[in-house]
């Protein structure tokens, strides 16, 4: 990894910690391309633990433990992620909506629409997914992801829009947030507000108050400046409370105040 990328990751880490203050590590994510070499000191679930995990489990391990992980096909347990990330073909059983029928949707036909909405890589785009905290990243990331509460996500939206104005558009299905975080952000090259899916909460153990924000690494410079300048402009976290008001008290309290004034 080039020195300027290392320095940028360090500055990005410092910027996010200063202006967003997340409870867990901000993450750098990359999908390895053909012929790329696996970075050193990266854990592979199947090789290192003899187990398979979901992408959302790996995300939580990275952001809570500080681990760097590599998720290839042999490391994956989640069948939805296997299809979304291009490791396995979209079998008819999947595309027909059988995984959502009776759980997320009333019918298979409705479920087929839900499955079609999941962002996906083609099989020739599949690659091992690298996930690591910014300060333990030894590769050029494609996506930066930060989990936080809604106020912290709002803070990052403000920073991301500083140069462009306008709005950030995101979509939600309550499923496969790993595909939104990685695939959709790469494919659109735009920031995303992420609503953690049910699996992320059950298997990744994401807390009820948490959301996430994903942004292309190519936007890092503008994002850092946006966080700094919006902070300077008064958009800050923790959110400041307005306290310059006169309180209204119960009638008996006000009566005592009147007695003091006599």
Q: How many CB atoms lie within 10 A of CB 254?
A: 11
Range of the domain at 179: 3-261
Band of residue 261 on the pLDDT scale cut at 50, 70, 90: confident
| Whether the predicted pLDDT of 250 surpasses 80 | yes
What mean pLDDT value characterizes the chain? 96
| Whether the predicted pLDDT of 2 surpasses 90 | no
Mean pLDDT (whole number) for 217-235 = 98
Mean pLDDT (whole number) for 194-203 = 97
To which H or E segment does residue 117 belong?
helix 108-117
Q: How many CB atoms lie within 10 A of CB 120?
A: 19
**What's the pTM?**
0.93
Q: Using one digit for the tens of pLDDT, what is the confidence trace for 49-92?
A: 999 999 999 999 999 999 999 999 999 999 999 999 999 999 99
Calpha distance 21→62 (Å, rounded)? 17
Which pLDDT value is given to residue 1?
Answer: 61
Mean pLDDT (whole number) for 197-207 = 97
Q: What percent of the chain has pLDDT over 90?
A: 97
The residue written with tokens 């962002």 in the block is: 119
| Whether the predicted pLDDT of 3 surpasses 80 | no
102, two tokens: 């009776």
Mean pLDDT (whole number) for 31-59 = 96
Contacting residues for 64 by C-beta, under 8 A, at least 6 apart: 24, 25
Q: What percent of the chain has pLDDT over 70?
A: 99
Calpha distance 225→202 (Å, rounded)? 36
Closest by CA position to 72, among listed 134, 131, 141: 131
Distances from the Cα of 209 to the Cα of 23, 150, 193, 196, angstroms: 12, 8, 14, 10
Which pLDDT value is given to residue 126?
Answer: 96
Strand 129-133 versus strand 192-194 pairing type: unpaired
Instruction: Check if the beta carbon of residue 70 is closer than 8 Å to that of residue 42.
Output: yes
Domains of the chain: total: 1
What is the CB-side half-sphere exposure of residue 99 using CA atoms within 13 A?
20
Mean pLDDT (whole number) for 140-158 = 98
């Amino acid at each position: 990894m080039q020195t300027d990328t290392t320095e940028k990751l360090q500055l990005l880490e410092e910027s996010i910690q200063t202006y967003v203050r997340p409870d867990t590590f901000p993450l750098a994510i990359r999908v390895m391309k053909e012929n790329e070499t696996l970075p050193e000191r990266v854990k592979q679930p199947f090789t290192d633990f003899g187990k398979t995990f979901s992408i959302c489990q790996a995300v939580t391990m990275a952001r809570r433990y500080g681990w760097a992980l590599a998720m290839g096909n042999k490391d994956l347990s989640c069948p939805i992620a296997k299809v979304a990330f291009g490791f396995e073909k979209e079998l008819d059983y999947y595309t027909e909506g059988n995984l959502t029928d009776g759980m997320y949707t009333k019918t298979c036909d409705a479920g087929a629409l839900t499955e079609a909405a999941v962002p996906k890589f083609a099989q020739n785009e599949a690659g091992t997914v690298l996930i690591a905290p910014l300060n333990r990243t030894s590769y050029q990331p494609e996506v930066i992801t930060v989990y936080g509460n809604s106020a912290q996500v709002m803070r990052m939206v403000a920073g991301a829009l500083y140069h462009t104005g306008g709005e950030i558009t995101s979509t939600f299905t309550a499923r496969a947030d790993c595909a939104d975080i990685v695939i959709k952000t790469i494919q659109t090259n735009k920031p995303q507000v992420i609503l953690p899916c049910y699996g992320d909460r059950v298997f990744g153990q994401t807390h009820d108050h948490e959301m996430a924000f994903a942004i292309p690494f190519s936007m890092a410079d503008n994002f850092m400046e946006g966080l700094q300048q919006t902070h300077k402009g008064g958009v800050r976290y923790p959110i400041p409370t307005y306290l310059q008001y006169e309180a209204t008290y119960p009638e008996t309290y006000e009566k005592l105040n009147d007695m003091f004034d006599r």
